[in-house]
Structure 1
Amino acid sequence: MTAAAAVVDEYSDDAAYEARLRAQVREIIAQSFSPPPKLTVSEWADEYRVLSPEASSEPGKWSTARVEPSRGIMDAFADPEIEIITCMVAAQTVKTEVINNVAGFHVHLDPCPMLILQPTLQMAEAYSKDRLAPMIRDTPPLSAKLGNSARDSEDTILHKKYAGGHITMAGANSPASLASRPIRILLCDEVDRYEASAGKEGDPVSLAIERTTTFWNRKIALVSTPTIKGASRIESSYEESDQRRFFVPCPKCAHMQHLRWAQVRWPDNDPLAARYHCEYSDPDTGELCDHGWSEAERLKAIQRGVWIATRPEVKGHAGFHLNRIASPWRALGEMARDFVLVKKHPERLKTWVNTRLAETWEERGERANPDSIFARREEYDAAIILPSGVGCITGSVDIQDDRAEVEWCGWGQDDESWSLDYKVHYGAPNTPGFWEVIDNALMRTFKHPSGVEMRVEAACIDSGGHFTQHVYNFVRPRIARRVYAIKGIGGPGRPIWPVKGTVNKAKNVTIFVLGVDQAKDMHYKRLELKEPGPGYCHYPLLENYDKKFFEGLTAEKAVLKTDRRGFVTKEWHKVHQRNEPLDLRVYNIAARLSLGINMERRLMALRAAAANALNAAPQMPVVREEPTPAAPQAVPGRRRVRSRGVES
């Protein structure tokens, strides 16, 4: 008796299961002696793929012509001359469905072991449930192979077996999920969001590629929107490829060109009327075509587009770059409108460049100039009255061995900010009196021009020093006041404010882990702004905001570093010994992000309160008096300033 017959005999009491198992045995035998059908991935998708309603805005039968740029990417997987496929593409264009179609093609027609690598295990589970499972359910050839695995005890959310192969989903942050299992098809999604190392094992992409070495016909795909120039995995891989771009014909002159944002123009104050303008210039006369394409012409040009390698001398590595101008899903005017909304917000503009243009963002490596920030201090004193644009207040505390440094920060529309006050309290952090001063500082109130007394709505206290337990003891009974124990962690991709805190059951306290690299990026971009408005940082002309403060505020600079594996990371290095003002600003940024405030509504209410207070103020009668001698003139350049605020 053969092994297959023995398995059938073991389950012979279930006729349906017996029939399914016999069919699988026949299929394995047939596939062992016949080559896969000569279909490309795009042809397979057009023939068999069904889009699920919960995963697509246009459910139903797949049509590659609907999103023409995906054709060349998918068909690269069927080209025997290509081993590596790199896709540096805009968000919400083609990347997820390309991965789905490649997986579906191999499950149905060319069974083999596959690995789909996501940034984290949680994202791998979400992909399996939200994208893979609906595709299997609604695409008949896949549901026939993978849709009835209830009796297979080895099938899990992250591991799907089928005749001749399996699909494994893994997280790049988990060394265990990258354990050695031979893989022929490797699909790495969102590689720019991977950690630099999977635990202590090294680069997760390199670890995953190691698993494909036994297959002569392997395919390795790296797919992602890009991030920081010089530190982007996907950009580095694309630069090693044949660098294909999607060229489309001009509707007027038929000149083939890849779509660039520089050619998008619109009338003043009307971005929704944006049009793409042809770049062609006659080489003899210099005359420009400059035809402005209508939306219908743009969509028609995309359907006629083709992928062209700009470095055809590179063999075996196909690279694809695609921005959202070449996407049929959003009108060009909507993309232009989004640009107008974000262009004054450096951190939002960075996201727009990454996710819409599929281009890296180039960070400035130099240190911000503390002298220029010191020189633009402004005449306001929050101890007397708040600036009218302040809608909420946060606090931050940095604990040192012999002192605490505290700063209060006011926040307005679009995270425009005002530093309100900065104090240094000297004392021993292991004494009750020290923490009583900190408590009073965080209960401080400030008067708004509306007459409203405003208090600190959230505060972050660093718990990473020598007095961790004292910080825990302080914040534990004050969580209702949003006084948080925080710990800063470096590294790319870590959010500034976590989705949830980390509970330390032994200490009965919740710690909030901050992504300090992201916060420093945001802080330095805001310091570069030249005019008040979204993200701009205001500082008062007060004695405690002296040159030493601004040296500390700009005490670090970002540098790109290549490790021994050739992986580029960004690190923050001190250029000034004292960096407490920088840390305090990072903590204040995190405290602001912890608050779910509708700032526009808050400021409207404060303006209404100010107007009511003005209308309710009694009118003083006008009294005519004899002129009095002029008061002595103040000495130019001299003004009253408040004390530095150093307490003992």
Structure 2
Amino acid sequence: MKKKKIIRKNTLEIFKNTIKVLEPPPNLKLSEWADENRRLSAEASAEQGRWNTDRAPYQREIMDSISDDRYQNIVVKSSSQVGKTEIVLNTIGYIVDHEPSPMLVVQPTETAAEDFSKDRLANMIRDTPCIRDKIKPSKSRDSENTILKKKFPGGILSIVGANSPVGLSAKPIRVVLFDEVDRYPASAGVDGDPVDLGEKRTNTFWNRKIIKVSTPTIKGISRIDQEYEASSKGVWNLRCPCCGRYNPLEFRRLRFEDANMQCMHCDEYFSESEWKEQDGKWIHEFNDNKIRGFHLNELASPWKSWSEIIASFKKAMKKKKETGSIEQLKAFINTSLGEVWEDRADGDQVEDEELLKRREYYSSDLKDGAILITAGVDVQDDRFEIEVVAWGRGYESWGVQYKKIKGDLDKDEVWKELEEYLDTEFFFEDGRSLLIAATCIDTGGHFTDKAYAFIKRMERKHKRIYGIKGQGGIGIPLVYKQTTNTKTGVRIFMLGVDQGKELIMARLKTKEVGPGYCHFPKNIERGYDEVYMKGINSEQRLIRFVKGRPKLEWVKKSGTRNEPLDLRNYATAAVDIINPNWDSLEVKVLKGINYMKSQPKSKRSRPSGVVSRGVEV
């Protein structure tokens, strides 16, 4: 009898366990899962330990929309410093643990995909107990679990680059997370738009999820901005401590002196802490829209103070005023405010005639204010084209000479003539003089080997004559990276020529003499004629459609030559490469000791006070 009771009891336990396994999981929201299970890693977070959605309450509705069956498409247009990558990681953890299914994460490049997996995902898996045992560690011999592929019970996670057509067109998936979509290429190889390719992989799932997250870029080409505009357009709002009405967090309503924000309803000002002690909620302009859209800026972030944001803006404006560069301001608009940059380059250019009228007579090679000279060299089939440019405080510039050296570039004597010209001594009116501190020479075209050999000889003579290659594309800095030609050992600098052109155009539009202003000589022998002025102003930025997607490109105006623009780009890059110590140079130039005329020509050195890769030489 006792034996039968034991058997009956065991059978009941087995039945209960079976029911428990077969029953559907509890209806758990993503934010609830994160609060209960997620652990923040020390390597990737300043606040390691248990996840707490209340720390950044704006994240709750975003995450819960992802786990809400009413919505298939979620769009997050966001600044930096608001935890958007953590939302992506929470989504991955939730799917692995709570809704096992095939999942795809798309990063801008394959390199970015590997970095995301190794630096962020691996740490989350390691430190979050409920998914740790479900995903095996990456092993090179285990085809089921690698850096870019993670298999778990009931599903698989694939991580790919948007430039990988193979990764985007494989097996069906239910959940696809597009991270930083504004950094995607226009096409994944020859297969087309990477977002379209990824979305097509979800077509067989009734409960599919498509999540797009990104910092925006330029108006008209920003993918995340276009997606947001087609969504419910949610904005995070905080309740006013005085009148109780809700306000979006807007930078324009900040008072800079005390970092207080004005209420748009009652006009009262309150501090950051007073605002953030109040209730917050998302207000959607089109609440019935099934595409759930969210816009966030750094003002909502608990990790960046309003005073720090104001300081970043002031720094960007100071940079623009001192150098004419808008890159830092553009980055602020995109990464701090989470807004698109409105680019006015399409037609908003200085006129050729205006540049011609700007020219002035030079009574000597160099004008007062010049501190440093650089040069750019373009290698053509039958000539060198060279521009020598003098620079002063705030990147005020003076065109010194535009020159052509014609000849057979297969012959060494022509390259010798170029070397001798780049050793030219340029004089101020009072007798002081400067040498060219650095030169950038293009190594493309039909004389690459000759250019490499020339640069190698100049390196042996300790002359700062650098080989360069141009690389187009949005977001690539002017001095992008340094590589070494494996055959010759020559150092080559990769230049982000699009950013250089944008910088030059901004400086050409500077109308007040001072930082960023471009001076040109009227003296005929200097070479700054109508052809030059048309050449430096020969390109404009236009939006073109490539494979159906908008792309911002520099387009040459009909009937013009763009060598002057290229050469000014190279001369500008030379300044950035040597990273001059302006204070030191200015003192030496004013004292007339930057170049010692009494030295024999063979012993003349480049101006001191120049910094190359952070070391004064």
Query: For each residue in 1:590-614, what CA deviation from the matched residue of structure 2 results, as whole angstroms up to 9, or x when unmatched?
Result: 333333x2x4xx2222344367669
1:465 to partner: Cα distance: 2.5
Which one-letter code corresponds to 2:221 in the other structure?
A
The yes-or-no answer on 1:275 pairing with 2:254 is: no
Give the direction of change, closer, same or farther, for the CA distance of 1:607–1:456 in structure 2 (3 Å limit): closer
The reply on whether 1:57 has 2:46 as its aligned counterpart is yes
Task: Note if 1:91 corresponds to 2:80.
Answer: yes
Partner of 2:519: 538
TM alignment of 1:223-262, pairs within 5 A:
223-262=213-252
**What's 2:282 paired with?**
307
Task: Tell me what 1:8 maps to.
Answer: none
The aligned counterpart of 1:342 is 316
Percentage identity across paired residues of the two chains: 42
2:466 is equivalent to residue 491 of structure 1: no
Match of 1:520 in 2: 501
Name the CA shift for 1:469/1:121 in 2 (closer, same or farther; >3 Å): same
| Structure 1 partner of 2:611 | none
Q: Paired residue for 2:93, among 95, 104, 108?
A: 104
Partner of 1:14: none
Provide the rounded CA distance (Å) in 1 between the counterparts of 2:479 and 2:298: 29
Return the match for 1:154 from 144, 152, 161. Answer: 144
- Taking the aligned partners of 1:380 and 1:292, their CA distance within structure 2 comes to 55
Partner residue in 1 for 2:598: none
Q: Given residue 248 of structure 2, which amino acid in structure 1 is its aligned partner?
A: H
Which amino acid in the other structure matches residue 549 of structure 1?
Answer: Y
In structure 1, C-alpha distance between the alignment counterparts of 2:446 and 2:228, rounded to whole Å: 46
Distance apart, 1:310 and its partner CA: 0.7
Partners of 2:431 and 2:51 in 1: CA distance: 61
Output the TM-score relative to the length of structure 1.
Answer: 0.81
Letter matched to residue 585 of structure 2:
L
Q: Structure 2: any 5+ residue segments left out of the alignment? A: 1-17, 321-325, 594-617
How many Å apart are 1:537 and its aligned residue?
A: 3.2
Partner of 2:192, secondary structure, is: coil
Corresponding residue of 1:20: none
User: 1:458–1:112: structure 2 CA closer, same or farther, 3 Å change rule?
Assistant: farther
Question: Are positions 1:187 and 2:177 aligned together?
Answer: yes
* Shift in Å, 1:261: 2.0
1:266 aligned to 236, 256, 266, which one?
256
Name the SS for the 2:74 alignment partner.
strand
The alignment status of 1:133 with 2:122, answered yes or no, reads yes
- Code of the aligned partner of 2:263: C
How far does residue 582 in structure 1 lie from its aligned partner after superposition?
0.5
- Structure 1 vs Structure 2 CA RMSD: 2.7
Equivalent residue, structure 2, for 1:549: 532
How far residue 527 of structure 1 moved from its aligned partner, in angstroms, is 2.1
The unaligned stretches of length 5 or more in structure 1 are: 1-28, 268-272, 281-288, 615-648
2:578 paired with 1:605: no
Q: 1:482 to 1:217 in 2, by over 3 A?
A: farther
Q: Per the alignment, do residues 47 and 478 of structure 1 end up closer, same or farther by CA in structure 2, a change over 3 Å counting?
A: same
Could you say which residue in structure 2 is the equivalent of 1:352? Answer: 332
Q: 2:186 touches 2:549 (CA, 8 Å); kept in 1?
A: no
Is the 1:227–1:361 contact (alpha carbons within 8 Å) kept by the matching residues of 2? Answer: yes
Separation (CA, whole Å) in 1 of partners of 2:20 and 2:142: 22
Residue 355 of structure 1: how far off its partner (Å): 0.9
Contact 1:381 1:540 (C-alpha < 8 Å) held by counterparts = no
Deviation at 1:564, TM superposition (A): 4.6
Structure 2 CA distance, aligned partners of 1:382 and 1:361? 42
What does the per-residue CA deviation read over 1:231-287, in whole Å, with 9 as the maximum and x for residues that have no partner? 1111111111111111221111112121222212234xxxxx22211111xxxxxxx
Match of 1:645 in 2: none
Match of 1:208, SS state, is helix
* 2:305 alignment counterpart: 331
Q: Please give the per-residue CA displacement for 1:291-325, whole angstroms capped at 9, x wherever unaligned.
A: 11112113224xx211121123422x111111112
Provide closer, same or farther for how the CA distance between residues 187 and 30 of structure 1 changes in structure 2, counting only shifts above 3 A: farther
Change (3 A) 1:38 1:398: same
- The 3 A distance-change label for structure 1 pair 610 and 339 is same
- The structure 2 residue matched to 1:319, chosen from 270, 293, 299, is 293
Shift of 1:98: 0.7
Q: Would the alpha carbon gap of residues 180 and 426 (structure 1) be closer, same or farther in structure 2, given more than 3 Å must change?
A: same
Task: Go from structure 1 to structure 2 and tell me whether the alpha carbon gap of 1:451 and 1:83 turns closer, same or farther (over 3 Å shift).
Answer: farther
1:450–1:607 Cα contact (<8 Å) kept: no
- Equivalent residue pairs, number: 563
User: CA distance change for structure 1 residues 189 and 30 in 2, over 3 Å: closer, same or farther?
Assistant: farther
- CA displacement at 1:417 relative to structure 2: 3.5
Distance 1:207 1:217 in 2: 18
Q: Deviation at 1:496?
A: 2.9
Is residue 294 of structure 1 aligned with residue 268 of structure 2? no
1:380, distance to aligned residue in structure 2 (A): 5.1
- Cα gap change, 1:471/1:329 in structure 2, threshold over 3 Å: closer, same or farther? same
Q: Which residue in the other structure is 1:558 paired with?
A: 541
- Bigger shift: 469-478 or 247-256? 469-478
Q: How far is the alpha carbon of 1:338 from its aligned partner?
A: 1.5
**CA deviation map 1:105-124 (0-9, x unaligned):** 11111112222111111111
Any idea what the Cα deviations from partners look like across 1:77-114, whole Å, max 9, x if unmatched?
A: 11111111111100121211111111111111111222
What is the aligned counterpart of 2:343 among 339, 359, 363? 363
- Render the CA deviation track for 1:377-423: whole Å, top value 9, x for unaligned: 4565673x464352x43221112233221012334455443333221
Measure, in 2, the Cα distance between the counterparts of 1:355 and 1:90. 4
Distance 1:428 1:154, change over 3 A: same
Q: 1:430 is paired with a residue of what secondary structure?
A: coil
Alignment of structure 1 residues 431-470 onto 2, 5 Å: 431-446=411-426, 454-470=434-450
CA displacement 1:65-88 (0-9 Å, x = unmatched): 111111111111111111111111
One-letter amino acid of the structure 2 residue matched with residue 298 of structure 1 = W
User: Measured at CA, do residues 202 and 394 of structure 1 come closer, stay the same or move farther in structure 2, by a change above 3 Å?
Assistant: farther
**Partners of 2:122 and 2:530 in 1: CA distance:** 59
In the aligned structure 2, how far is the partner of 1:405 from the partner of 1:605?
Answer: 31
2:399: which partner in 1? 419
Distance 2:497 2:45 in 1: 36
TM-score, length-normalised on structure 2? Answer: 0.84
Equivalent-residue separation in structure 2 for 1:251 and 1:90 (angstroms)? 25
Whole-Å Cα distance in 2 between the matches of residues 513 and 189 of structure 1? 27
Cα 1:398–1:149 shift into 2, 3 Å = closer
Q: Residues 539 and 555 of structure 2 are in contact (CA less than 8 Å); yes or no, is this contact kept in structure 1? A: yes
1:481 match: secondary structure: coil
